[in-house]
């Protein structure tokens, strides 16, 4: 069964600094997709970034980027120039063919001014 | 604006009572999903539907029921058989169930509590 593990229940970062959130997953599939979602206090789930497993190039969306290591089954999220609005729960998610999404337990990010 | 609307935002259930959570989307998405979120845990799939009049159980379907009579609507009923229903419930949709690269779009959620 596919599982997603986020080993950091909580992280904190100073405003304007960089932080990396970790995610590992377990799968026997070769084709799949990975996602990072942000859940602010409003509780709405917002897509941050996605990565296709067949692409070697790491995805980037403005201040957000990933470090995708397929062999290691690792998918970390890097947030550069952290802002107060980045404070939220962050969930890593996995999806393969015909499958619903599998979510990690989440990492709560605090941004200190 | 297109999106997913969940109602109510807060819901209270009495012992032995069934309650229904509403989820409506105007994104013309084929697939719809219900998740349960408990503190300290990620989202767990309750039910999902790929097309109208068809749905499948997720990981924690016991004590829940759904229907998909219209493409836009996917209501979730929490039955009295669900002994620990207090949680945050999220509804989601995506363009195609097999569109693996398509992210799921989420509603704002319903918080269900026991009276």
Strand B19-25's sheet: what is its strand order?
B4-7, B19-25, B76-78, B64-66
- In Å, the largest CA–CA distance within chain B is 41
pLDDT band at B97 (very low <50, low <70, confident <90, very high): low
Nearest chain B CA: its distance from A29 CA (Å): 13
Inspect the interface and report whether the beta carbons of B109 and A100 lie closer than 8 Å: no
Q: CA triplet B89, B86, B48: central angle to 5 degrees?
A: 30
CB A92 within 8 Å of CB A40: no
Q: Which of B58, B90, B108 sits opposite A100 (nearest CB)?
A: B58
Structural tokens at position B14 = 């009495």
| Distance between CA atoms of residues A23 and A102, nearest Å | 12
pLDDT at B39: 82
Inspect the interface and report whether the beta carbons of A98 and B97 lie closer than 8 Å: yes
User: What percent of chain B is modeled with pLDDT above 90?
Assistant: 69
Residues of B in contact with A31 (CB under 8 A): 100
Query: Best residue in A39, A43, A91 to probe B by mutation, most B CBs within 10 Å?
Result: A43
| Distance between CA atoms of residues A103 and B42, nearest Å | 6
**Position A1 pLDDT exceeds 90:** no
Q: Which of B98, B103, B108 sits opposite A35 (nearest CB)?
A: B103
pLDDT at B6: 96
Structural tokens at position B55 = 């749905």
User: For chains A and B, what is the number of CB pairs under 8 angstroms?
Assistant: 55
CB A23 within 8 Å of CB A76: yes
Radius of gyration over every alpha carbon of chain A, rounded to an integer in angstroms: 13
> Which of A15-19, A26-30, A105-109 is predicted least confidently?
A26-30
**Position A98 pLDDT exceeds 80:** no
Nearest chain A CA: its distance from B16 CA (Å): 28
**Over the stretch A52-81, which tens digit does the pLDDT of each residue have?**
988 889 999 999 999 999 999 999 999 999
The CA-to-CA distance between both ends of chain B, in Å, stands at 35
pLDDT at A105: 92
Counted residue by residue, chain A has a size of: 113
Residues of B in contact with A99 (CB under 8 A): 100
Report chain A's mean pLDDT, rounded to a whole number.
93
Instruction: Name which of B58, B21, B64, B22 is nearest B43 in CA terms.
Output: B58
**Over the stretch B10-61, which tens digit does the pLDDT of each residue have?**
999 888 899 999 999 999 999 999 999 998 778 999 999 988 999 999 999 9
Residues sharing a CB contact under 8 Å with residue B4, sequence separation 6 or more, in sequence order: B23, B24, B25, B27, B91, B92, B93, B105, B106, B107
Nearest chain A CA: its distance from B79 CA (Å): 23
């Amino acid at each position: 069964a596919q599982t997603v593990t986020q080993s950091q229940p909580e992280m904190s970062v100073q405003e304007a600094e960089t932080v990396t959130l970790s995610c590992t997953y377990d799968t026997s599939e070769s084709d799949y997709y990975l996602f990072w979602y942000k859940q602010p206090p409003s509780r709405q789930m917002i897509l941050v970034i996605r990565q296709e497993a067949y692409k070697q190039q790491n995805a980037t969306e403005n201040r957000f980027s990933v470090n995708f290591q397929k062999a290691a089954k690792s998918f970390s999220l890097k947030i550069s120039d952290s802002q107060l609005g980045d404070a939220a729960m962050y969930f890593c998610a996995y999806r393969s063919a015909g499958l619903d999404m599998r979510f990690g337990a989440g990492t709560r990010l605090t941004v200190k001014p | 604006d297109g999106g997913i609307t969940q109602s109510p935002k807060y819901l209270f259930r009495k012992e032995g009572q069934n309650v229904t959570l509403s989820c409506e989307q105007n994104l013309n998405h084929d697939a719809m999903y219900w998740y349960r979120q408990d503190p300290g845990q990620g989202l767990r799939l309750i039910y999902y539907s790929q097309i109208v009049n068809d749905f499948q159980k997720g990981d924690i379907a016991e004590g829940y029921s759904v229907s998909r009579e219209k493409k836009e609507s996917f209501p979730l009923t929490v039955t009295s058989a669900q002994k620990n229903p207090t949680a945050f419930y999220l509804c989601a949709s995506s363009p195609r169930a097999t569109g693996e690269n398509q992210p799921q779009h989420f509603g704002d959620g319903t918080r269900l509590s026991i009276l």
